[in-house]
Chains A and B, each alone.
Chain A
């Protein structure tokens, strides 16, 4: 039995400690944000935030995250609401500005990679309020174990969405 905190909730998981976190999140906890892309930390489709840092859940074992805080795509809005100290009523109807920007910019094409893209964008914007295009490109290519890959070619739309989200977050969340 391993104890982990996922999206603010403590969860007890039966799976063996060497199970990659991705399978725990998808199969044991039935979350659908992180996607299986390569299983080798080469694409970023499976990304989650671990204590606020983007990690690849496909190579992160359950045992290594015991007691740590995992945020998945499902938990981004609550994460934002907590950071902004929103009331429960306001939190329920608030999207994370990254998600709002992704919708506004119509960023996903097939969308299978966008979980990791939004997780990476959240990590970036929590540390860099107004990133330049070069900083955005660096975040999505050289900051992790591999570049975040999109086969549909949504990179332009991702950059535009990150910029939109940055503006919204600077203003306090109004997209």
Chain B
């Protein structure tokens, strides 16, 4: 085979030479006939997805990072192990996220890529290549070979993967498509044979997450631990409002802070110093005397929903219609005896990572730029930094380390501090570590879009949903501009409302319709520009960004609350009402599972209060990323104070193939807690000038005191043949179920969040 190419289902296998030690097979890629870096594939370099080493160890690489899902350290290894027929433990090294050490880019979202992550396909190609090598070595036809634990055998003869690559440098070039620096990165192409699901032995088992030990024993290198020689600590003084231009930067008191210096670039003011404490104190001193223009251009949180209803522009963007729309809704509603017309309102939410964003940048004299950070999309950040500096992307390296969960905030690359660190480092000629404060992180990061939805529906004389119409309104969800670059007046990608924007301002139908029995359905989604942006001299408004279950949360909440209201209108138990209107077996099964496991009481009347406390139950469902979800919430309402205690959350999830039950259970539990937090506590506060939520008191999230009993029911459906997603959805399910439970407990409907005691009290008094 030496010097020749073997075709492996569209991938090319070749031997590049012989070596004394370190023999291996490197599975790299080719894009449209050439390699991404426009240089000959060096199989020892990071283009490789998978490396099979002569000692039978295996290395895998992914451009995606870990943000607490654990997927790259658990599910990815399990999937690769099964495709290759090796033990989980054979995959000894996982390299993720770094732009100079991983192949494919892409964001840390949709990690299982509808059942076909890049690594699964790459492993399938590698498996076929190894079988070709074994067939040649053993002199046996390929279809006569079997593999167990990395040993290929046939008729008494056998050879291990390690022996197959020993003494050689083998290269397998896999076809890919896409753009590595884009939001979505590269995707492995083609259709190599995949292992039948029935033969899986690693997938389905609860392997522990390999980084847990280092995190628990303080051995992990977090992004917060990265240091460089000569590094300075930086703090950024952000403008007074979202529209404030700089009038004059404050003067540094050199007698107090002899080692600090101020950097001003456009409307960006930074302070750097050799020690963190001096940087903090100096930035506070400079901030106090920095002057900004005033600006008022936001509606303020109290007028938000009125603004969205009456003043916001929903006409510019094209309207999205659901593919499942059907029937004559107006006629169906007109001819039905019972009707509902309602508007549902959801406030802006913060991603609110526990660790504020932080990055270390090193802009070197030779023009090379190194950024050490914690991003969900290193390649997209890399291209954004290159654009900002007007330098070739090859000059920029982004390395990503463990850090706080971002829940989607950095999936387009930017967490906030990276570009500011680069600007400061370039200005002072030294590495600069920029740590955002808690206040910076709440006031200058992006937020999850607020939304309103108008619903009209009706039920017929038989208690069936006869017509349903919903119109969703939500400002543009994805502003991935580097905010420091915007403030400094440097180039960035387009804002959502500008020409060239990747996502634009249009909304989409994010929440698939699941009540197939309904005869007439009309769902539409309206998008609009970022609130405040057009009038802000900084071109910055309430910047929006996807948050765990993005867009679908904003659409599923009104739909699921409306369906519960329809059930009450029909006099039918809300869970039974959903079963009545569902047709998909997987959905029916999750509904039956939550009914059986939650202690749901099938009834059409509500229970009575005792001792001033009224209890109720509510249910919600979602179909997301090939996964079916159902959730039941049981709550207690204090009828005098309006305080809600969520007593139990039961979630049933069918993701198709359950890859790792223990890890999935923890993800779902965590999502449920975030859901309770969203339902009870979370609302971005802002006035006419900017965000006023500045700490954990003005942006409260759930504490352990809010923790309900959480029961997770995993439904493994290997016959579905796909991997769904487990790290999203659970955070969106709780709120509509809790609102349903409040309706059950009190007869009062809450059509907006959060369910703070004063709001619930006002409903109870109404």
Contacts and interface: CB of A to CB of B under 8 A. Distances in A.
B538 to A, nearest CB: 26
A154 interface: yes
Given A32-B221, A32-B224, A109-B405, A38 B695 contact: yes
A147 interface: yes
Contacts of B356: 36-38
Interface in B691-709: 695-697, 701-705, 707
A106 B208 contact: yes
A109 B215 contact: no
B662 A106 contact: yes
B553 interface: no
Among B70, B662, B703, B705: residue with most chain A CB under 10 A: B703
Contacts of A16: 277
A103 B212 CA distance: 6
B276 A110 contact: no
Contacts of A73: 217-218
Contact of A106 (B435, B666, B704, B731): B666
A35 B355 contact: yes
B224 A106 contact: no
B674 A155 contact: no
Given A109-B70, A141-B705, A36 B216 contact: no
Contacts of B80: none
Interface centre among B216, B667, B696 (most CB of A within 10 A): B216
A110 B220 CA distance: 12
Contacts of B710: 156
A74 B70 contact: no
B695 A42 contact: yes
B666 A154 contact: yes
Contact of A155 (B208, B407, B673): B673
Contacts of B70: 109
A95 interface: yes
Contacts of A155: 673, 702-704, 707
A140 B211 CA distance: 24
A153 B218 contact: no
Nearest to B223: A112
A43 B354 contact: yes
B704 A147 contact: yes
Contacts of A37: 354-356, 438
Contacts of A142: 705
Contacts of B437: 39
B573 to A, nearest CB: 28
B663 interface: yes
A77 B219 CA distance: 13
Nearest to B438: A38
B704 A27 contact: no
Interface stretch (A82-90, A113-121, A122-130): A113-121
Given A23-B276, A23-B277, A43-B696, A112 B220 contact: no
Interface in B648-684: 662-663, 666-667, 669-674, 677
Given A43-B696, A149-B354, A112 B405 contact: yes
Contact of A95 (B217, B405, B438, B703): B217
Contacts of B68: 108-111, 152
A109 B697 CA distance: 24
Task: Please report whether the interface of chain A is mostly helix, strand, loop or mixed according to DSSP.
Answer: loop
A5 interface: no
Contact of B222 (A20, A32, A137): A32
Interface in B401-459: 402-405, 407, 435, 437-438
Pick the most buried of A37, A107, A110, A159: most chain B CB atoms within 10 A of its CB: A110
A111 B224 CA distance: 13
Nearest to B437: A39
Given A23-B276, A151-B352, A110 B707 contact: no
A99 interface: yes
B463 interface: no
A146 interface: yes
B582 to A, nearest CB: 28
A67 B212 CA distance: 33
A27 B276 CA distance: 8
Interface string A22-53: 01001100111101111110110100000000
A37 B356 CA distance: 6
B222, B277, B672 — most chain A CB neighbours (10 Å)? B277
Contacts of A115: 218
Contacts of B293: none
A31 B225 CA distance: 8
Contacts of A38: 356, 438, 695-696
Nearest to A77: B217
A137 B427 CA distance: 48
Contacts of A102: 212, 216
Nearest to A109: B68
A80 B224 CA distance: 27
Nearest to A108: B215
Interface in B49-69: 67-69
Given A36-B356, A153-B669, A111 B276 contact: no
Contacts of B704: 136-137, 140-141, 147-148, 155, 158-159
Interface in A129-175: 136-137, 140-142, 146-159
Contacts of A111: 68, 211-212, 215-216, 220, 402
B117 interface: no
Residue in A18, A26, A38, A142 whose Cβ sees the most chain B Cβ within 10 Å: A38
B404 A157 contact: no
A40 B405 CA distance: 20
Contacts of B695: 38, 40, 42
A32 B220 contact: yes
Contacts of A108: 68, 209, 212, 215-216
Contacts of A114: 215-216
A19 interface: yes
B96 to A, nearest CB: 14
Nearest to A140: B704
Of A18, A35, A136, A156, which is in contact with the most chain B CB atoms at under 10 Å from its CB?
A156
Contact of B705 (A15, A109, A137, A156): A137
Interface in B336-369: 352-356, 358
A39 B276 CA distance: 13
Contact of B438 (A18, A39, A146, A152): A39
A150 B704 CA distance: 9
A66 B208 CA distance: 41
A26 B224 CA distance: 9
A27 B672 CA distance: 36
Contacts of A35: 222, 224, 354-355
A115 B214 CA distance: 12
A57 interface: no
B701 A151 contact: yes
Contacts of B224: 26, 32, 35-36
A45 B215 CA distance: 13
A21 B408 CA distance: 32
B405 A110 contact: yes
A153 B702 contact: yes
B683 to A, nearest CB: 16
Given A106-B663, A109-B70, A20 B217 contact: no
B304 to A, nearest CB: 24
Contacts of A137: 704-705, 707
B390 interface: no
A137 B220 CA distance: 28
B275 interface: yes
B288 interface: no
A38 B701 CA distance: 14
A45 B435 CA distance: 15
A-B pairs, 6 with minimum CB distance: A153-B673, A110-B68, A153-B670, A110-B405, A147-B703, A109-B68
21 contacts: A18-B277, A37-B438, A39-B438, A40-B695, A43-B354, A103-B208, A103-B213, A106-B208, A106-B209, A107-B216, A110-B354, A111-B211, A111-B220, A111-B402, A114-B215, A148-B704, A151-B352, A151-B405, A151-B407, A153-B672, A153-B674
